[in-house]
């Protein structure tokens, strides 16, 4: 369930891709295309091309491709629906959803975002200009205890929730249920509505696109517990799927190809201040699979900047599974014992930066901690360390990784690797993996379409280019049988099975979609008739070679002779001499293509009859009789 397809098409049609792209890069017109430096990778010479008429782009440097929706998705790191909604708002299009419940839910979500935006602005004003005693105490704490200057308060939109039962409720002048829906108010036992946050510093929480979804509240020293209080789950906020600070960090995350995960809001602010601007935090919960799915849209290397105890107690099984399933590289920054990331960012930012840069794989980090506290000076101590270390290593699902660390343990503990391998060995690793992951862990891989084959080129590539740019001229003149290259054939099938180019791209395999995007920004260079003749000619010559091979193994090759003669005549007629009859050439093309199509049917005999006419081939069955 989602946005109605017709509305998605309206958004595409109403969006000026050149205008959208020009907001982020300089474009200049080159012939019928627009060209510029690609925003998705660093380059000195323009290789990014936009076809304004078709509304698609393609980069010849990094192969980035798509339409206005995918451009906004990739550049702003949004999901599909968010990108469509953003472009629809720009175009003034009211979106519809494919069922009433989804539509109502979208309206409800929009109202919650609006309520949160208004409340965050109000809380922010209470901190910046509030005159109450507790607001002064909050400002003093931020400035003198945390070292936050006004620019930090402004950037992160920090706020203060006054110590009153219903100050927000009275200030917002909204129905109490609107604040309840946003997680900002609760209904007490007496049936009255109260503010959810009271006497707390507010850290607004935004989703990846910058929309407010909730808040975290911290008490001042000596305040009422708990120390941190987070918005409860709402229609827009699920703490297992939101990373605090991602809206500010995402560009640097992509640029540096890593994301640094902290445990708290102040850690993120501290790391950003220390130059580690790719830092984000979970919102009062452990790292969950929802977070992992979110961050894989931005980077594949994950660095945990937890305190040492927090990192050591993290769930190893989850980490290893996520690394395998999402192709991640999860590492841990070895922070000094007892160090809080936010404090370290303020007192020793260089040490913090080094710890992040030198982060170790999770298993390596755990082993380093174990050996740091082990007694390696005595045989007994080394034996205990080896036993504990091997227990950690055997949790890892990869036998290759296990063996690498086993060699390290052998060196540190002065033991034979073979002795370690046989020491209290658990069930085989394959059995461990199968019981841990279940049937879903079985992966089926498939070679890329056309793997090992040369790139599509020549008449096949030009025919597809014409099919993209001049579909009305190519209508009725292309058939599957005319394509030999598997990728070209797959692209033809995608175009033939879709009503629009965008639909073909949307439903296509990545290699097919990539070629379609590229073709869309490459203007045709050849005449339609010339390309079709070359394409049909090549298909006819392939059929001629096949007939020759069939005749050589046939018990009676005689019937193939007239068919070969007809096929050669048809091929000759495709290219009439100067002053020849173009109509005869066109009839030969039609007859030859029809015969090729008939011959390609599963139940056709080798000499399946072509259409009636002077050059129609006799069937081998007729010749045999």
- What's the pLDDT tens digit per position in 560-578? 888 888 888 888 888 877 7
DSSP 243: E
The predicted structure's pLDDT at residue 451: 42
DSSP 552-603: HH-S--TTHHHHHHHHHHHHHHTSPPTT--HHHHHHHHHHHHHHHHHHTSTT
- What's the pLDDT tens digit per position in 143-160? 998 999 999 999 999 999
Q: Which of 27-31, 175-179, 609-613 has the highest mean pLDDT?
A: 175-179
- The count of domains in the chain is 4
Q: Name which of 9-23, 30-44, 245-259, 300-314 the model is least confident about.
A: 300-314
The predicted structure's pLDDT at residue 599: 81
Is 80 part of any domain?
A: yes
- Same domain for 542 and 476: yes
In the chain, % of residues over pLDDT 70: 89
Task: Band the pLDDT of 182: cuts 50, 70, 90.
Answer: very high
Q: Are 1 and 54 in contact (CB under 8 A)?
A: no
The predicted structure's pLDDT at residue 611: 36
Per-residue CA distances from 264 to 210, 427, 535 (Å)? 19, 39, 63
Q: Which residue has the higher pLDDT, 417 or 444?
A: 417
What's 531's domain CATH number? Answer: 1.10.860
DSSP 456: P
Q: Are 421 and 415 in contact (CB under 8 A)?
A: no
- State the chain's mean pLDDT as an integer: 84
Task: Band the pLDDT of 132: cuts 50, 70, 90.
Answer: confident
Per-residue CA distances from 615 to 590, 592, 611 (Å)? 11, 9, 9
Residue 436 clears pLDDT 70, i.e. is over it: no
Is 300 part of any domain?
A: no
The predicted structure's pLDDT at residue 434: 31
Is 279 part of any domain?
A: no
Q: Name which of 57-66, 126-135, 172-181 the model is least confident about.
A: 126-135
- Same domain for 490 and 617: yes
- Whole-number Å distance between alpha carbons of 384 and 476: 77
Domain boundary among 199, 216, 237: 237
* Percent of residues in the chain assigned helix, strand, coil, to nearest 5: 55, 10, 35
DSSP 478: -
- Same domain for 533 and 601: yes
- Whole-number Å distance between alpha carbons of 362 and 311: 9
Q: Give the torsion sign (CA, 108, 111, 117, 118).
A: negative
Is 349 part of any domain?
A: no
- Whole-number Å distance between alpha carbons of 197 and 199: 7
Q: Are 550 and 604 in contact (CB under 8 A)?
A: no
Q: Are 331 and 365 in contact (CB under 8 A)?
A: yes
Tokens of 170: 């009275």
Residue-range definition of the domain harbouring residue 122: 116-237
The stretch 466-486 carries a mean pLDDT of 90
Task: Band the pLDDT of 101: cuts 50, 70, 90.
Answer: low
Angle in degrees, 0-180, between the axes of helices 316-326 and 362-373, rounded to the nearest 10:
150
The predicted structure's pLDDT at residue 308: 58
- Whole-number Å distance between alpha carbons of 138 and 160: 7
- Same domain for 178 and 232: yes
Coil, strand or helix at 616: coil
- Same domain for 597 and 552: yes
* pTM (two decimals): 0.59
Residue 609 clears pLDDT 50, i.e. is over it: no
Distance of alpha carbon 363 from the chain centroid? 27
The predicted structure's pLDDT at residue 616: 46
- What's the pLDDT tens digit per position in 69-79? 999 888 877 77
The predicted structure's pLDDT at residue 69: 92
Q: Which residue has the higher pLDDT, 271 or 485?
A: 271
- Same domain for 87 and 24: yes
DSSP 265-332: HHHHHHHHHTT-TTEEEESSS---HHHHHHHTTT-SEEEE---HHHHHTS-HHHHHHHHHHHT-EEEE
- Same domain for 620 and 483: yes
The stretch 493-498 carries a mean pLDDT of 87
Q: Are 50 and 521 in contact (CB under 8 A)?
A: yes
What's 70's domain CATH number? Answer: 3.90.580.10
DSSP 29-97: EETTEEEE--TTS--SS--EEEETTTTEEEETTT--EEEHHHHHHHHHT--HHHHHHHHHHHHTPPP-B
The predicted structure's pLDDT at residue 602: 61
Q: How many residues does the chain have?
A: 625
Domain boundary among 177, 205, 237: 237
Is 309 part of any domain?
A: no
- Whole-number Å distance between alpha carbons of 139 and 159: 10
Strand-by-strand arrangement of the 212-218 sheet: 159-161, 200-206, 212-218, 228-230
Residue 623 clears pLDDT 70, i.e. is over it: no
Strand-by-strand arrangement of the 329-332 sheet: 243-244, 279-282, 258-262, 301-304, 329-332, 360-361
- What's the pLDDT tens digit per position in 34-65? 999 998 888 888 999 999 988 999 999 888 88
Coil, strand or helix at 422: helix
Per-residue CA distances from 296 to 77, 154, 262 (Å)? 11, 29, 17
Angle in degrees, 0-180, between the axes of helices 362-373 and 379-393, rounded to the nearest 10:
160
The predicted structure's pLDDT at residue 614: 52
With a CB cutoff of 8 Å and minimum separation 6, the contacts of 120 are 157, 159, 202, 204, 212, 215
- What's the pLDDT tens digit per position in 192-211? 999 999 999 999 999 988 89
Domain boundary among 237, 264, 291: 237
Question: For the chain, how far is it from start to end, CA to CA, in angstroms?
Answer: 61
With a CB cutoff of 8 Å and minimum separation 6, the contacts of 3 are 81, 84, 85, 95, 96, 97, 98
Residue 6 clears pLDDT 90, i.e. is over it: no
Is 244 part of any domain?
A: no
- Same domain for 134 and 229: yes
Residue 421 clears pLDDT 70, i.e. is over it: yes
Residue 424 clears pLDDT 80, i.e. is over it: no
The predicted structure's pLDDT at residue 560: 80
The predicted structure's pLDDT at residue 448: 40
DSSP 139-181: HHIIIIIS---HHHHHHTT-EEE-SSSSHHHHHH-S-HHHHHH
Task: Band the pLDDT of 612: cuts 50, 70, 90.
Answer: very low
Phi, psi of 509 (to 5 degrees): -60, 150
In the chain, DSSP finds a helix count (H) and a strand count (E) of: 30, 17
- Whole-number Å distance between alpha carbons of 249 and 254: 9
- Same domain for 154 and 44: no
Q: Which residue has the higher pLDDT, 96 or 167?
A: 167
Q: Name which of 11-20, 146-155, 178-187, 610-619 the model is least confident about.
A: 610-619
- Same domain for 154 and 62: no
Is 98 part of any domain?
A: no
- Same domain for 65 and 208: no
Residue 442 clears pLDDT 50, i.e. is over it: no
Residue 555 clears pLDDT 90, i.e. is over it: no
Residue 381 clears pLDDT 70, i.e. is over it: yes
Is 576 part of any domain?
A: yes
Task: Band the pLDDT of 587: cuts 50, 70, 90.
Answer: confident
Q: Name which of 44-53, 361-370, 443-452, 571-580 the model is least confident about.
A: 443-452
Tokens of 39: 């925003």
Q: Give the torsion sign (CA, 105, 111, 115, 118).
A: positive
- Same domain for 171 and 85: no
- Whole-number Å distance between alpha carbons of 189 and 67: 53
**Nearest one of 42, 82, 49 to 66, comparing CA atoms:** 49
- Whole-number Å distance between alpha carbons of 245 and 1: 29
The predicted structure's pLDDT at residue 624: 38
């Amino acid at each position: 369930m989602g946005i109605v397809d017709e509305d998605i098409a309206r958004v595409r049609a109403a969006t000026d891709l050149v205008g959208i792209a020009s907001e982020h890069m300089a474009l200049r017109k080159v012939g019928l295309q627009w060209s510029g430096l690609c925003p998705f990778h660093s380059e000195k010479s323009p290789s990014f091309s936009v076809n304004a008429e078709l509304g698609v782009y393609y980069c010849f440097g990094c192969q980035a491709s798509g339409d206005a929706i995918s451009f906004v998705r990739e550049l702003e790191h949004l999901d599909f629906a968010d990108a469509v909604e953003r472009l629809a708002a720009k175009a003034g299009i009211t979106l519809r959803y494919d069922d009433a419940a989804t539509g109502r839910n979208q309206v409800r979500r929009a109202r919650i975002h609006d309520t949160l935006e208004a409340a965050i602005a109000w809380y922010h004003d209470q901190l910046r200009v509030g005159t109450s005693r507790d607001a002064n105490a909050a400002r003093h704490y931020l400035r003198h205890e945390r070292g936050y200057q006004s620019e930090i308060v402004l950037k992160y939109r920090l706020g203060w929730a006054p110590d009153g039962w219903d100050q927000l409720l009275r200030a917002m002048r909204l129905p109490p249920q609107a604040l309840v829906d946003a997680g900002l108010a609760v209904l007490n036992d007496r049936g009255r509505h109260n503010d959810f946050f009271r006497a707390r510093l507010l850290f607004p929480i935004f989703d990846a696109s910058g929309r407010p979804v909730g808040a975290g509240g911290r008490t001042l020293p000596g305040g009422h517990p708990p120390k941190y209080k987070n918005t409860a789950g709402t229609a827009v906020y699920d703490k297992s799927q939101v990373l605090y600070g991602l809206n500010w960090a995402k560009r640097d995350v992509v640029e540096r190809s890593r994301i640094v995960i902290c445990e708290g809001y102040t850690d993120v602010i501290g790391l950003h201040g220390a130059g580690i601007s790719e830092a984000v935090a979970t919102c009062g919960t452990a790292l969950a699979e929802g977070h992992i799915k979110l961050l894989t849209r931005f980077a594949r290397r994950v660095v945990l900047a937890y305190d040492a105890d927090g990192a050591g107690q993290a769930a190893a099984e989850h980490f290893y599974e996520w690394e395998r399933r999402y192709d991640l590289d999860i590492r841990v920054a070895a922070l000094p014992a007892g160090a809080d990331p936010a404090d370290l960012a303020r007192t020793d930012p260089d040490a913090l930066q080094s710890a992040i840069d030198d982060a170790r794989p999770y298993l390596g980090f755990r082993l380093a901690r174990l050996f740091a506290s082990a007694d390696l000076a005595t045989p007994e101590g080394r034996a205990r360390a080896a036993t504990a270390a091997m227990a950690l290593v055997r949790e890892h699902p990869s036998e290759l990784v296990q063996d690498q660390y086993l060699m390290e343990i052998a060196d540190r503990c002065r033991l034979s690797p073979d002795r370690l391998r046989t020491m209290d060995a658990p069930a085989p690793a394959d059995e461990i993996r199968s019981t841990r992951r279940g049937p879903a862990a079985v992966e089926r891989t498939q070679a890329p379409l056309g793997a090992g084959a040369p790139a599509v080129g020549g008449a096949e590539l030009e025919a597809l280019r014409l099919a993209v740019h001049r579909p009305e001229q190519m209508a009725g003149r292309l058939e599957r049988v005319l394509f030999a290259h598997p990728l070209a054939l797959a692209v033809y099938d995608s175009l033939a099975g879709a009503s629009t180019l965008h639909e073909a791209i949307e439903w296509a395999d990545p290699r097919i979609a990539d070629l379609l995007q590229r073709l869309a920004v490459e203007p045709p260079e050849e005449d339609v008739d010339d390309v079709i003749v070359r394409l049909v000619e090549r298909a006819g010559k392939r059929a001629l070679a096949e007939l020759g091979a069939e005749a050589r193994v046939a018990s009676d090759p005689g019937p193939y002779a007239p068919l070969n003669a007809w096929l050669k005549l048809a091929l000759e007629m495709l290219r009439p001499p100067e002053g020849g009859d173009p109509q005869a050439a066109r009839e030969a093309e039609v007859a030859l293509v029809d015969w090729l199509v008939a011959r390609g049917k599963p139940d056709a005999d080798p000499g399946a009859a072509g259409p009636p006419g002077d050059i129609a081939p006799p069937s081998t069955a007729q010749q045999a009789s």
